[in-house]
Amino acid sequence: MSENNIIKLTYREALKRGIREALQKDEKVFLMGEDVGRYGGAFAVSKGLLQEFGPERIMDVPLSESGFVGAGIGAALNGMRPIVEIMTVNFSLLAMDQIVNNAATLLHMSGGQINVPVVIRISCGIGRQLAAQHSHSWEPLYAHIPGLKVLSAGTHEDARGMLLTALQNRDPVIIFEYTFLLNKEEEISANAGAVDITKAKVRREGRDVSIITYGAGVYKALDAAKELIATGIDAEVIDLRVLRPLDEVTIFNSVKKTHRVLLVEEAWGSVNVSSEVSARIMENVFYELDAPVQRLGGVEVPIPYPKHLEDASIPQNADIVKKVKKMLQHD
Amino acid sequence: MEEVQTIQSLPAIEKNHGLDLLYQMMLIRRFEEKSAELYTKEKIRGFLHLYVGEEAVAVGVINTLSADDNILCTYREHGHALARGIDAGMIMAEMYGKQEGCSRGRGGSMHLFDAKRKFYGGNAIVGGHLAMSVGMALASKKQKKNNITVCFFGEGAAAEGEFHEAMNLAALWSVPVLFVCENNLYAMGTAIRYSHAVTEIEKKGPAYGIETVVVDGMDVLAVENAAGRAVEKIHATGKPYFIVCNTYRFRAHSMFDAELYRDKTEVEEWKKRDPIPKLQQQMLGENFISQNDIVIMSKKVEDEVQKAVDFAEAGTWEPAEELTKFVYSENG
């Protein structure tokens, strides 16, 4: 197979290939989560893996989020490399004590003696009419916590590769995955694998404005950029990828190039990732700006069930296009 | 439902072993009294929870373990750390917040750690370490390690959902974990009758299919006997085991506690069951020691505690420039 070999696959399949490769590479790796085995994964991500790897490595767990996340942390303390899957970000709140009070603190509280090499995969995102207890964008809750590394897999490439790199890490890593993208097909290199998890990535080069986003915003921003080019606006799209610790260099370089910034995310507008990125731009590269930093975030409402209201609660492509045009005074 | 057995102490006691247990309990007692003193002198700050009265539990259980076994404790863990063999000076330095402390001063009284001795805290979210202990035992099972994991917690933790999740997971996955409930009858100031509908904590083990025994936590030989049998059983079956130790703390919950919630007469009644004089009487009765030996031992304990204080006093403060160390691993 040549390096240029390109394959087309769904986001779901990309996730599965990442998990499978991780399991093949290291016998200390195992997957634990609700319905990951016999059911095949709530979103069919781990379908077939139980048959391939057996119940010791694909562990169905009871509905005990705090219990099984805590057990994953314990297993990591004692030599294993667990991948803990949490079915939705809403359920992760039941395990927040384990993640925040244990996983994120043990290294520090022990004066550097105890590492917690656990990887926690959390499904999240909005767009499948799952209403207020099954769909939110709560990356900022976790991005607030020192001691955690927080990743967001906004592309197929990252869905395929982030897990592999995360498993090389000695600290707790949380990976956010997006249910809205599961069926979306994209092309990636056939030999795609582990990706860098320390840096943001320029997904599209441009010179007029930097659209800085992550997760569910990445493909939306890329689509918006395509529309904008027809109107003569050349937008750069930055995928943050790593929400903690933030890669300031990539952000600031883009600001220095385009001098205009639009921050886009689905998380609620107040106190979100964009707030932090915006503040850091002000503190560090304020004089590079030709216009005030603008933000598009989630409307501050629990996610509603009806499609039209759900759509209205998060930034859409059209909102991005409109906002950028306004920033560049094209309308 | 299986019956819950009450475990008594073995009739015979071996002299040197008895001396060992006595020394450890007396060391913990004196160490704790000294800590209280140092707290009033503001050498130790934060929360300080003393183990006075409960010494027989940590000493009885930990003496049955091997160096490979993992131990997780609550925030009332100075006694466990001493029983595990962590140097008293390093524990005291930790409480002073000095970088010579067993957690480099980052944890304090509630977060004593020693990775080499497989001592995993010092955990101060009640019930938060139970699931971790199950995970550690799961990892031992997966890697075919021949060690067990011991998790100490109070009866207050048994009201947490995490207790029930952990018990279920341990039994469901059949992992080598020993749960030890130190039932001292009060969750801070809330008596057990105000926090549990069923106050016999030992009844909660069999509900999860976990072999459970109850033991007098004021009798170190009984605790040791129960723990020894438990450890043996866990090694034989690979399954979890639950010991409920009925005990009592003689001092307040923490240094901020005015003890409005219990009668002085109740405390005095429990003091009659003090595990230290109890073992001393047994040793005297067997003619293994004399009153003078006890005096000599007290002096030795006093010296060790003083040495610990001196070590802590001589310790150094970590430079503030190192504040953000240990948030992430240095080499990823």
Residue A271 gets the label, from left (phi > 0), alpha (psi -120 to 50) or beta, of left
A106 neighbourhood in chain B, CB within 8 Å: 121
Question: How do residues B36-69 score in pLDDT, each as one tens digit?
Answer: 999 999 999 999 999 999 999 999 999 999 999 9
Q: Where are the beta strands (DSSP E) in chain B?
A: 5-7, 70-73, 113-114, 119-122, 149-154, 177-183, 186-187, 190-191, 211-216, 241-246
Return the minimum-mean-pLDDT range out of A65-74, A315-324, B253-262.
Answer: B253-262
How far is it, in rounded angstroms, from Cα A214 to Cα A277?
12
Instruction: Give the domain range for residue B246.
Output: 5-322
Phi, psi of B162 (to 5 degrees): -65, -30
Contacts A–B by Cβ distance under 8 A: 156
pLDDT of residue B332: 63
Q: Which of B111, B119, B136, B144 to mutate to test the interface with A (most CBs of A within 10 A)?
A: B136
How far is it, in rounded angstroms, from Cα B133 to Cα B131?
5
Across residues A10-32, what is the average pLDDT? 98
Three-state SS at B18: helix
How far is it, in rounded angstroms, from Cα A52 to Cα A28?
16
B328 within domain boundaries: no
B327 within domain boundaries: no
B322 neighbourhood in chain A, CB within 8 Å: none
Specify whether the CB–CB gap between B152 and B123 falls below 8 A: no
Chain B: give the shortest CA distance to residue A147, in Å: 5
Specify whether the CB–CB gap between A120 and A84 falls below 8 A: yes
Fold of A8-189: Rossmann fold (3.40.50)
A68 neighbourhood in chain B, CB within 8 Å: 131, 165, 169
pLDDT of residue A3: 54
B103/A109 touch (CB, cutoff 8 Å), yes or no: yes
How far is it, in rounded angstroms, from Cα A142 to Cα A175?
10
Check CB contact of A54 with chain B, cutoff 8 Å: no
Please state the domain extents for chain A.
8-189, 201-327
Q: What is the mean pLDDT of chain B?
A: 96
| Nearest CB to B136; choose among A67, A74, A102 | A74
Check CB contact of B169 with chain A, cutoff 8 Å: yes
Query: Is the bond into A245 cis (omega within 30 degrees of 0)?
Result: yes
How far is it, in rounded angstroms, from Cα A98 to Cα A92?
10
A292-A293-A299 Cα angle (round to 5): 125
Contacts with B, A 294-323, CB within 8 Å: none
Give the residue on A whose Cα is nearest the Cα of B123. Answer: A102
Three-state SS at B17: helix
The residue length of chain B stands at 332
pLDDT band at residue A329, thresholds of 50, 70 and 90? confident
The CA-to-CA distance between both ends of chain B, in Å, stands at: 49
Would you state the structure tokens that stand for residue A90, as one six-digit string?
């809403």
Would you state the structure tokens that stand for residue B83, as one six-digit string?
């029983």
pLDDT band at residue B14, thresholds of 50, 70 and 90? very high
- CB atoms closer than 10 angstroms to residue A236: 24
Phi, psi of A118 (to 5 degrees): -110, 145
Residue type at position B214: V
pLDDT of residue B197: 96
Question: How do residues B216-231 score in pLDDT, each as one tens digit?
Answer: 999 999 999 999 999 9
Contacts with B, A 106-145, CB within 8 Å: 106-115
pLDDT of residue A72: 98
The b-or-e profile of B164-173 (16+ CB within 10 A means b, else e) is bbbbbbbbbb
Instruction: Look at residue A331 and tell me whether its pLDDT is greater than 80.
Output: no
Residue B165 sits in a domain of what CATH number?
3.40.50.970
- Taking the CA atoms of B291, B292, B295 and B300 in sequence, report the sign of the dihedral they define: negative
Write down the number of H helices and E strands in chain B: 11, 10
Give the residue on B whose Cα is nearest the Cα of A118. Answer: B135
Check CB contact of A27 with chain B, cutoff 8 Å: no
Give the residue on A whose Cα is nearest the Cα of B121. Answer: A110
- Taking the CA atoms of B183, B189, B191 and B195 in sequence, report the sign of the dihedral they define: negative
Of A21, A134, A266, A310, the active-site residue reads: A134
How far is it, in rounded angstroms, from Cα B229 to Cα B92?
33
B331 within domain boundaries: no
Cα distances (angstroms) measured from residue B109 to each of A102, A110, A222, B53, B151: 17, 12, 52, 18, 18
A67/B166 touch (CB, cutoff 8 Å), yes or no: yes
Question: How do residues B249-294 score in pLDDT, each as one tens digit?
Answer: 999 988 888 899 999 999 999 999 999 999 999 999 999 999 999 9
3-state secondary structure labels for all residues of chain A: CCCCCEEEEEHHHHHHHHHHHHHHHCCCEEEEECCCCCCCCCCCCCCCHHHHHCCCCEEECCCCHHHHHHHHHHHHHCCCEEEEEECCHHHHHHHHHHHHHHHCCHHHHCCCCCCCCCEEEEEECCCCCCHHHCCCCCHHHHHCCCCCEEEECCCHHHHHHHHHHHCCCCCCEEEEEEHHHCCCEEEEECCCCCCCCCCCEEEECCCCEEEEECCCHHHHHHHHHHHHHHCCCCEEEEECCEEECCCHHHHHHHHHHHCCEEEEEEEECCCCHHHHHHHHHHHHHHHHCCCCCEEEEECCCCCCCCHHHHHHCCCCHHHHHHHHHHHCCCC
B130 neighbourhood in chain A, CB within 8 Å: 70
Across residues A150-173, what is the average pLDDT? 97
The fraction of chain A above a pLDDT of 70, given in percent, is: 98
Based on the residue annotation, tell me whether A187 is a catalytic residue of this protein. no
B139/A113 touch (CB, cutoff 8 Å), yes or no: no
A73 neighbourhood in chain B, CB within 8 Å: 131-132, 135
Torsion of CA B286, B291, B292, B296, to 10 degrees: 90
pLDDT of residue B121: 94
A320 by Cβ neighbours in 10 Å (0-12 / 13-18 / 19+) ranks as buried
pLDDT of residue A1: 46
Three-state SS at B247: coil
Based on the residue annotation, tell me whether A65 is a catalytic residue of this protein. yes
Specify whether the CB–CB gap between A86 and A120 falls below 8 A: yes
Chain A: give the shortest CA distance to residue B152, in Å: 15
pLDDT of residue B12: 82
pLDDT of residue B115: 98
Specify whether the CB–CB gap between B130 and A70 falls below 8 A: yes
A56/B142 touch (CB, cutoff 8 Å), yes or no: yes
Q: Which residues lie across from B3 on neighbouring strands?
A: none
User: Rounded to two decimals, what is the model's pTM?
Assistant: 0.96
Q: Strand A58-60 to strand A81-86: parallel, antiparallel, or no bridges (unpaired)? A: unpaired
Question: How do residues B104-162 score in pLDDT, each as one tens digit?
Answer: 999 999 999 999 999 999 999 999 999 999 999 999 999 999 999 999 999 999 999 99
> One fold for both A8-189 and A201-327?
yes
How far is it, in rounded angstroms, from Cα B116 to Cα B143?
19
How far is it, in rounded angstroms, from Cα B152 to Cα B69?
13
A115 neighbourhood in chain B, CB within 8 Å: 329
Across residues A29-58, what is the average pLDDT? 96
Give the residue on B whose Cα is nearest the Cα of A244. Answer: B328
Residues in CB range of B267: below 8 A, 6 or more apart: B248, B250
A77/B132 touch (CB, cutoff 8 Å), yes or no: yes
Q: Strand A119-124 to strand A81-86: parallel, antiparallel, or no bridges (unpaired)? A: parallel
Instruction: Look at residue B1 and tell me whether its pLDDT is greater than 60.
Output: no
Farthest-apart Cα atoms in chain A, separation: 60
Q: Tally the domains of chain B.
A: 1
B306 within domain boundaries: yes
CATH class of A201-327: alpha beta
B133/A74 touch (CB, cutoff 8 Å), yes or no: yes
Chain B: give the shortest CA distance to residue A33, in Å: 13
B330 within domain boundaries: no
B158 within domain boundaries: yes
Q: Which of A187, A188, A213 is nearest to A200 (CA)?
A: A213
Check CB contact of B49 with chain A, cutoff 8 Å: no
Residue type at position B207: A
Q: Which residues lie across from A60 on neighbouring strands?
A: A33
Q: Strand A6-10 to strand A185-189: parallel, antiparallel, or no bridges (unpaired)? A: antiparallel
Check CB contact of A96 with chain B, cutoff 8 Å: no
Chain A: give the shortest CA distance to residue B253, in Å: 22
How far is it, in rounded angstroms, from Cα B243 to Cα A307?
54
